Amino acid sequence: MNFSTSPVLELRLPLWRSRFLIVLFFSGFAVLAGRAVYLQGWNDDFLRAKGESRYSRVIEVSANRGRILDRNGEALAVSTPVKSIWAIPGDVSFEPEKLVRLAQLLDLSKEDVRKRIDGAGVDFVYMKRQVPPEVADRIAELRIPGLGQSREYRRYYPGGEVMAHVLGFTGVDDSGQEGIELAFQKDLAGAAGSRRVIRDRRGQVVEDLESIRAAQEGRDLTLSIDAKIQSLAFSQLKAAIEQNRAKAGGVMVLDALTGEVLALANLPSYNPNNRSKLVGEQLRNRVLTDTFEPGSTMKPFTVALALELGKITPETVIQTSPGKLTVGSATISDAHPHGALSVEEVIQKSSNVGTAKIALGLEREDMWGMFHHAGFGTAPPVQFPGAVAGKLRPAKSWRPIEQVTMSYGYGLSVSLLQLARAYSIFARDGELVPVSFLKTNGPVSGERVLSPSTAIAMRRMLEMAASNGGTAPKAQIMGYRVAGKTGTAHKQEGGRYADRKYRASFVGLAPASNPRLVVAVMIDEPTAGKYFGGDVAAPVFSKVMEGALRLLGVVPDAPMKPIVMPPEGAEVQESI
């Protein structure tokens, strides 16, 4: 049989139709092949973007924060590497036992872990930051999909509470929050970098693709602070506060030649390495942010102005008898009547009446100008957050009684930093020194406020005040001549002066023959029985100044023989 002529195999459809279908199929394949070549060869951005959205990530590369060093190179703040544990909620899945273990390692409850993952409502969430590396390693061993880690740094402060108010601290994101850390944030922080990486489904980096931006490490900062002098100041302040059962206190040590702050200590303090129980009272940097009425520590500025204007000489006699002076409807008084006193003795005995009579011979505008040029009433020009201006009202608003009370430290307010800086005028032969918290390269020039002769004359008077015949014999140091002034002022409370609440202060300089350091001390509310600046603050000055001078190798300018103090109970009280 001839199959080729069989009617069953006879082709009833047109031949062009089958050929058309073949061409159609091949055309479709050609279009798909062309599209594939186009997408993967010439225009692959779309597919690349889709792939990268699932596996590619841009991660931040943390910059190492710069160290903070003391003037001798000792590390005061360093950054230690830690890890942040994060999650991509949609990718996270774990077995019950891994959930329990993860919660234990993160020091969280299981509910907290679940809440952060299930209730996040975002594509990324931090589970915990600043996790120690050894804990992070144990978390990585759990191999939980969607859980990842990134490197960051945690700040460590070896000095703890001793350096707290100088350095401040950083937050969880390693940015400065207080003190030097905040003031020099831009220099210390550097700039974070970024890299593009490929992560697997567990969130682990499996390929490092490229660097987008290199991290710029933070710059090291060398402070003016001397760690040994700082420790000395803190320990002596702490001992004085405990001994006098005081509420708070502050100490500042200033290099009169360079304007460098060698120490700044406050109490109460805190440990910046553990701030879980930190309260505002501990945070306050009282030396810079708290103001107070300085009391008798202002008297030298009133007397210096009168000397400068030629109104008096150191030998001019002022009659202070009977120890009281009425101005308008108010009466001021001395602690004890002194009779006729020379101007030198007015400072030595800290006479309110003597100072008031000198002030009444001055123009109020001149007094305001003297106080203003000494730095009172204006914020000190320092690179430190929170430094306050204090209060100094315009001269035109002063009444006669206010002019009198301001002459001996009531009616205006200052910070301890302002007071220490102002006394540099007497240490620097009439120049007001600029203050720096960074190490400098030697002596600096200051602003002329008084003539050298007036400053030297005032230094002699301040030396008398720190002698056995003055109000602060406890400020003396074996081997060094000391000059300084006490201050004891009632505290204001409820709009009036409290009867039994005081601030005791002492500001002094040494060696008096060629001053190198200025030390200012303030003790707030001593309650152990003694409250005069000569009893409470002057001993702190003596110990801090002595230790600092010896640490700096300053040559003694007095005989190395024991100091003989006045008999206990001898009259050294100042007028308040």
Active site residues: 296
Q: Which among 294, 324, 302 is positioned nearest to 490, based on CA atoms?
A: 294
CA distance 408 to 325: 14
Q: Which among 190, 186, 178, 206 is positioned nearest to 153, based on CA atoms?
A: 190
CA distance 412 to 396: 15
CA distance 140 to 132: 13
Secondary structure string (H, E, C) spanning 201-231:
CCCCEEEEEEEEECCECCCCEEECCCHHHHH
- Amino acid at the residue 358: I
Residues 417/287, Cβ–Cβ less than 8 Å = yes
Taking residue 229's Cβ as centre, other Cβ atoms within 10 Å add up to 24
Taking residue 127's Cβ as centre, other Cβ atoms within 10 Å add up to 22
Q: Which among 68, 83, 65 is positioned nearest to 168, based on CA atoms?
A: 68
Given CA atoms 466, 467, 468, 469 in this order, what sign does their dihedral have?
negative
Residues 419/297, Cβ–Cβ less than 8 Å = yes
CA distance 295 to 293: 6
The DSSP code sequence of 102-137 is HHHHHT--HHHHHHHHHS--SS-EEEEEEE-HHHHH
Taking residue 172's Cβ as centre, other Cβ atoms within 10 Å add up to 12
